[in-house]
Amino acid sequence: MKHITKISALASILLPFACATSNEKLSRAQSQNSGQMYVFESDSNGFNTKTFFYDNGQEVVAFDSQFTPDLAKQSIEFLRTKTKNPITNLVITHPNPDKFNAIDVFKSHGAEVIASKATAEAWPSVHAYKKYFFVNIAKMFTGDTYPKLSEVDQRFESSLELKLKNGEVISLRELKGPGVSSNQTVAYISAINSLIVGDLVHHKAHAWLEGGIVNGQPTPTIKSWIQDLEELKSRFATTNPMVYGGRGDAVDLKTAVDSQILYLSRVDEIVTKYVNGLGEQKAELKTEASQVHYTKLQQLIESEFADYKLGYMIQYGVYGLALSK
């Protein structure tokens, strides 16, 4: 985990989404019809980011691009071990760099990139924020080697019915408020009763608690995140689809929502109590000394959720939530 080690040494008020060379963890969900969901997951150096591929037997729709072009290429190489069907679309679920940084790789394979207007409009400021960290603080990239900001091919407002060549429809919808990021798109694939939700859900895996980057600042919104989850539970109550979150296990919607709300509520309580107890030391959260506090918060949250994976996600994302207290 060479990049994670480097980030730990450099952590301060700006803490990153990380990337690095990855290994694959492969999984596949099958349905009763011909549609298949294939999942590529980077290892911990790539922060276990997932790219989902829905193959309906004629074409493939991908969801989220990975952080770097190299990781995107690995995801497509993985896909080619499963199917030769063309990738016709890449859907971006929300404006975080591990979702949009590598869209040009998918474009080079013929995919049209689709994102909500809100996601596309948030990209420039998110890109600038993350590029500054990786180039100037972590020094993992130069200005020339950091992934380039690219363009969306198709934008939509609140919803889009993406019609595939065989007549299937994938329903894309913007949720009402910010969640893990400043806004959130979900995709419902009725043919396999599955819901793609990006990082809105990390089932049995720790959440990224930075919040969306708004006006150059991390802006966590736990209350709105929970409201988004409740919106999904209400909208899809009758079908209770399988939920594919950005990290963690795929599970049915009711299980995913109930456990995620419990996690977020309890983590918010833990962080609030810890920050309020710092007194004058609270100022350290904006200095290089902050890392000791984020490490302590990681320990507290991991102790509360002992069966959850990816504890390192806490240490590198919790700064946003802590600074909001």
Residue extents of the structural domains in the chain: 2-323
Q: Residue 28: pLDDT above 70?
A: no
Q: How many CB atoms lie within 10 A of CB 87?
A: 21
Q: Would you state the structure tokens that stand for residue 96, as one six-digit string?
A: 């975080």
Q: Would you state the structure tokens that stand for residue 288, as one six-digit string?
A: 């290089």
With a threshold of 0.75, does the pTM exceed it? Answer: yes
Question: What phi and psi values does residue 204 have, to the nearest 5 degrees?
Answer: 60, 25
User: Residue 288's pLDDT is what?
Assistant: 87
Q: Residue 22: pLDDT above 70?
A: no
Which H or E run contains 122?
Answer: helix 117-132
Q: What is the mean pLDDT of residues 81-91?
A: 98
pLDDT band at 33 (very low <50, low <70, confident <90, very high): low
Q: How many CB atoms lie within 10 A of CB 322?
A: 22
User: What b/e sequence results for 42-55 when a residue is b if at least 16 CB atoms lie within 10 Å of its CB, and e otherwise?
Assistant: bebbbbbbbbbbbb
User: Residue 21's pLDDT is what?
Assistant: 35
| Domain 2-323 in this protein, CATH class | alpha beta
Confirm if 41 and 47 have CB atoms less than 8 A apart. Answer: no
Q: Residue 45: pLDDT above 90?
A: no
Confirm if 67 and 102 have CB atoms less than 8 A apart. Answer: yes
Q: For all residues of the chain together, what is the average pLDDT?
A: 90
In a 3-state reduction of DSSP, which class is residue 64?
coil
Q: Residue 8: pLDDT above 90?
A: no
Closest CA to 195 of 148, 250, 154, 276: 250
Closest CA to 212 of 187, 232, 184, 182: 182
Q: Residue 5: pLDDT above 80?
A: no
Which H or E run contains 252?
Answer: strand 251-252
Q: What is the mean pLDDT of residues 247-264?
A: 98
Q: What is the mean pLDDT of residues 3-23?
A: 38
Map tokens 């040494």 to a residue.
9
Residue 199's identity, in one-letter code, is D
For 265-310, the pLDDT digits (tens) are 999 999 999 999 999 999 999 998 999 999 999 999 999 999 999 9
Q: Residue 182: pLDDT above 80?
A: yes
User: Residue 133's pLDDT is what?
Assistant: 85
Q: Residue 233: pLDDT above 80?
A: yes
- Dihedral of the CA atoms 278, 279, 281, 287 (nearest 10)? 90
Closest CA to 271 of 211, 204, 182: 211
User: Residue 306's pLDDT is what?
Assistant: 97
Q: What is the mean pLDDT of residues 155-174?
A: 97
Closest CA to 31 of 52, 50, 55: 55
